[in-house]
Structure 1
Amino acid sequence: MVERDPYTFSELEQWLNKNRVTEIECLVPDLTGVARGKILPREKFTEDRGMRLPEAIVAMGVTGEFPEEGPYYDVITPTDRDMHLQPDPSTVRIVPWATDPTAQVIHDCYDRDGKLVPFAPRSVLRRVCDLYAELGLEPVVAPELEFYLVARNTDPDVPLKPPVGRSGRSETSRQAYSIDAVNEFDPLFEDVYDYCEKMGLNVDTLIHEIGAGQMEINFFHAHPLGLADEVFLFKRTVREAALRHDMFATFMAKPIAGEPGSAMHVHQSIVRKADGRNIFSNEDGTPSKEFYWYIGGLQKYIPAAMALFAPYVNSYRRLARFTAAPINIQWGTDNRTVGIRSPVASPNARRIENRVIGADANPYVALAATLACGYLGIQHRIEPSAECKGDAYLGEYALPRSLGEALTLLRDERELARVLGEDFITVYTEVKEIEHAEFMKVISPWEREHLLLHV
């Protein structure tokens, strides 16, 4: 593993010197989770200790479009003013695939008055963590991130297919937890683990998931902001490694018809900062009131937060009955059919798993939103429904079925807006409306096949 990341600018300079860095990738995660920013020579980076970008750069959709009018411009000025970006020294990592010694540093976004830009995804997660800190609490999370390896595909009209492995064959059947199926892609994953080690990404277990070519990587539990950074960088890393092996890695929620979708399950618990005690357990080891209130908050607010957990039209294709993805907000112990699962664990490790979140979600936004739901549950002492001890797929749908429906619910939920920030919700929903409108212009093969000559 790499040495401890620097936490001050002087330590950052020492780190850059030690690694003989000549270029810096100055990164800012946008609403989609795409890395925006600039590449600077080492001397320029050291001289400026920051840079400027137009504030709308972190507030555009996946198509690169901006709203032309409306509430969006009550938050973002039409004059396209600058954000002042400041590097977070704790995020510096080497870029292991770069030819020249290159570092990457994630930046926070500030306005001209020195305040965090409220609609920048990293700012939103900081805001929620600060609310917990005011209560003397600290969230602990551990994401499980699923993704697909697919054959290189440059034509968006052609369906995606599993890639060819070492055997010279593509997967044609489901290989859940198969070691041999993972070994088909050993050269790729050797690069992934090598890159992760050089970057100090604390990845844990690699498994083959249910779908053909579907993998899952688990992260060690840690503070939400640091783990969001790691997921952000890991996505970038595995995509780069896949390209070098003539395939694509995709975090689409539902990339292949007939195969299960990809999720980002997030395990979460809350500890007291004073003594590190998990507040989800009483001293005698039984579940605490806070444990149940947190579940109650997730149950109440997840439907309104779905546009944050499932941010694209494709996201809702994953959330279907009997497809290894939840359709409702029931909760249960060691029950993978529910949306909110409590794994079997010791009292110190008692946690709650949000299984609703898609792999396509922005990690900063998704972690902020799930922690916000739990925070409101604790604050308002929301009691959960009775535990589901059977098959939750036999129950009714309790989640929005489309992005349009999800955006309406998010706009109407004022408590979530209060926790996540009114400005963020305004910008986010306006951007997503643009994406949804753009999608509605596309005529799908299904429509041509079934409607062309039959209606």
Structure 2
Amino acid sequence: MHSSDSTFPQLEQWLDEKHVTEIECLVPDLTGVARGKILPREKFTEDRGMRLPELVVAMGVTGEVPYEGAYQNIIPPTDQDMHLRPDPDSACIVPWASDPTAQVIHDCYDRNGKLVPFAPRSVLRRVCDLYAAEGWRPVLAPELEFYLVARNPDPDVPLTPPVGRSGRAESSRQAYSIDAVNEFDPLFEEVYAFCEQMELNVDTLIHEAGAGQMEINFFHGDPLALADEVFYFKRTLREVAMRHDMFATFMAKPIAGEPGSSMHIHQNIIDTATGRNLFSNPDGSPSREFYWYIGGLQKYVPAAMAIFAPYVNSYRRLVRDSAAPINIQWGGDNRTVGIRSPVSEAPARRVENRVIGADANPYVSFAATLACGYLGIKNRIEPQTECTGNAYHGDYELPRSLGEALTLLRKDADLSSVLGEAFVTVYTEVKEVEHAEFMKVISPWEREHLLLHV
């Protein structure tokens, strides 16, 4: 497939209307990094099958890939090509480009025309198709936290809050402070302007608890479209931050002593035949599906943690007394639990997964949380008793490290059946390589406490 086929006349018309001269052909990899090619408009239109090696979407954050094991059975060392197919719905302008430039996210297909099963977009499409087969339409709304930090070219130097309009860096926590957000007005005005040009459906911006920590909320919508928006937003925010002489980071725990950053995902299901929220009965009360969905999250979230918390750094956020969940308790108007159901009218009844980190790949984390709920409904899994107290004081119920999380994911046949065995194999093998790379690094803590004492 190529963009000059009759399948994409609207895309060609849109490119004409925007006077686009260059196109960034993007593919999100397992980390969420934008891979791909930059093509002149003419080349994009005439290209008879743009290709990339399969391993491009199956690399770790260090760029390494496994050179042995089951990974090689799925992605052979012959380094065969994927065939890229543009998704016209993902096309938008690159606001910071000097010439009229578009960015278009592509899906990955093999030579037989089947979706590459370990590509992040393919995994989310697979799960959404399972919902569609039941007559359901999942709806999500992510809330994404991040930090603005001072430029830091040296990875050995700890990160610090940036200087705002006042000429001073934040030194205290300013949760929900309007004035603290206004410190960075020029940056956020540009972010909103860029998002408007890209037609991203961003909603509320707030200041979170950490020094320089913010949160952006997205309107609820289709999972794939929203994953694209989160992917684009991360890219946009990083670009704008650098234009304002600072960095933006979605690390789960970038600064010691400050709260971590999460990606809370609100989720519900619409019955496509009736338009009814599946989580509410006709009389407005919570439905069986609502409770089963929560039961599925409680059962399968621990096994999905390698997806929700994908790096060694992710587990620094998920510790006691850090304003992050440490278990899979559920509750109503209770922000200490891992699974929350906010107060709402019956048509808007939803479940919020508060476990996921801001560092998670939006495509595979959306797929995984939907997979947990799907399995809960299909298997009619009853939830535990609702938690009405402080879940932060409860027991740990989540894996405490990436290694432990990878073991749980490998062992869970139910999640593999929904997400796809090829994806789980590739993902876990890549993460093992990342973990091995991390273990080669000696931390300042080890030098401080072990050098002269053991």
- The bucket for the TM-score relative to the shorter chain is over 0.9
Contact 1:151/1:160, CA 8 A, preserved across alignment: yes
Query: Unaligned regions of 5+ residues in structure 1, if any?
Result: 1-6
Which residue of 2 is the match for residue 170 of structure 1?
169
SS in 1 for 2:39: strand
Q: Does 1:183 align with 2:171?
A: no
SS in 1 for 2:190: helix
Which residue of 2 is the match for residue 144 of structure 1?
143
Distance 1:67 1:143 in 2: 32
Aligned residues between the structures = 449
Which residue of 2 is the match for residue 224 of structure 1?
223
Q: Does 1:258 align with 2:257?
A: yes
Q: Does 1:375 align with 2:345?
A: no
1:275 positional shift:
2.4
Distance 1:104 1:24 in 2: 6
1:324 positional shift:
1.3
Distance 1:447 1:90 in 2: 49
Amino acid in structure 1 at the alignment position of 2:233 = F
Amino acid in structure 2 at the alignment position of 1:364 = Y
Distance 2:23 2:346 in 1: 44
Distance 2:105 2:130 in 1: 23
Distance 1:304 1:186 in 2: 41
Amino acid in structure 2 at the alignment position of 1:192 = V
1:136-155 deviation digits (Å, cap 9, x = unpaired): 00100000000000000000
Contact 1:8/1:89, CA 8 A, preserved across alignment: no
Distance 2:14 2:61 in 1: 34
SS in 2 for 1:270: strand
Which residue of 2 is the match for residue 105 of structure 1?
104
Q: Does 1:268 align with 2:267?
A: yes
Which residue of 2 is the match for residue 4 of structure 1?
none
Amino acid in structure 1 at the alignment position of 2:199 = G
Amino acid in structure 1 at the alignment position of 2:273 = A
Distance 2:350 2:152 in 1: 39
1:196-255 deviation digits (Å, cap 9, x = unpaired): 000000000000000000000000000100000000000000000000000000000000
Amino acid in structure 1 at the alignment position of 2:323 = A
> Cα distance 1:252–1:49, how it changes in 2: closer, same or farther (>3 A)?
farther
Which residue of 2 is the match for residue 335 of structure 1?
334
> Cα distance 1:165–1:8, how it changes in 2: closer, same or farther (>3 A)?
farther
RMSD: 0.8
Amino acid in structure 1 at the alignment position of 2:66 = P
Which residue of 2 is the match for residue 128 of structure 1?
127
SS in 1 for 2:144: strand
Distance 1:118 1:268 in 2: 24
Q: Aligned ranges for residues 348-387 of structure 1 at < 5 Å?
A: 348-387=347-386
> Cα distance 1:146–1:8, how it changes in 2: closer, same or farther (>3 A)?
farther
Contact 1:254/1:261, CA 8 A, preserved across alignment: yes
Which residue of 1 is the match for residue 389 of structure 2?
390
Distance 1:49 1:202 in 2: 33
SS in 2 for 1:399: coil
Amino acid in structure 2 at the alignment position of 1:91 = S
Distance 1:71 1:443 in 2: 29
Which residue of 2 is the match for residue 85 of structure 1?
84
Which residue of 2 is the match for residue 403 of structure 1?
402
Which residue of 2 is the match for residue 45 of structure 1?
44
Amino acid in structure 1 at the alignment position of 2:421 = E
Distance 1:393 1:201 in 2: 35
Q: Does 1:195 align with 2:171?
A: no
1:49 positional shift:
6.1
Which residue of 2 is the match for residue 321 of structure 1?
320
Distance 1:49 1:247 in 2: 41
1:159-217 deviation digits (Å, cap 9, x = unpaired): 00000000000000000000000000000000000000000000000000000000000
SS in 1 for 2:416: helix
Which residue of 2 is the match for residue 70 of structure 1?
69
Distance 1:321 1:344 in 2: 26
Q: Does 1:58 align with 2:57?
A: yes
1:134 positional shift:
0.2
Amino acid in structure 2 at the alignment position of 1:134 = A
1:48 positional shift:
1.7
Distance 2:132 2:270 in 1: 10
Distance 2:452 2:331 in 1: 47
Contact 1:49/1:86, CA 8 A, preserved across alignment: no
Q: Does 1:240 align with 2:221?
A: no
Which residue of 1 is the match for residue 3 of structure 2?
none
Distance 1:322 1:204 in 2: 29
TM-score under structure 2 length normalisation = 0.98
SS in 1 for 2:31: coil
SS in 1 for 2:397: coil
SS in 1 for 2:205: strand
1:65-86 deviation digits (Å, cap 9, x = unpaired): 0111010011111110000000
Contact 1:49/1:87, CA 8 A, preserved across alignment: no
> Cα distance 1:8–1:186, how it changes in 2: closer, same or farther (>3 A)?
farther
1:50 positional shift:
4.4
Q: Aligned ranges for residues 282-297 of structure 1 at < 5 Å?
A: 282-297=281-296
1:8 positional shift:
5.2
Amino acid in structure 1 at the alignment position of 2:117 = P
Distance 2:126 2:92 in 1: 24
Q: Aligned ranges for residues 210-221 of structure 1 at < 5 Å?
A: 210-221=209-220
Distance 1:73 1:274 in 2: 43
TM-score under structure 1 length normalisation = 0.98
Which residue of 2 is the match for residue 344 of structure 1?
343
Contact 1:50/1:87, CA 8 A, preserved across alignment: no
Amino acid in structure 1 at the alignment position of 2:237 = V
Q: Aligned ranges for residues 7-46 of structure 1 at < 5 Å?
A: 9-46=8-45
1:126 positional shift:
0.1
Distance 1:292 1:240 in 2: 41
Which residue of 2 is the match for residue 450 of structure 1?
449
1:276-315 deviation digits (Å, cap 9, x = unpaired): 2100000000000000000000000000000000000000
Amino acid in structure 2 at the alignment position of 1:381 = R
Distance 2:440 2:194 in 1: 40
Amino acid in structure 1 at the alignment position of 2:432 = E
Distance 2:337 2:48 in 1: 47
SS in 1 for 2:16: helix
Distance 1:269 1:117 in 2: 28
Amino acid in structure 2 at the alignment position of 1:375 = Y
Distance 1:8 1:174 in 2: 52
Which residue of 2 is the match for residue 115 of structure 1?
114
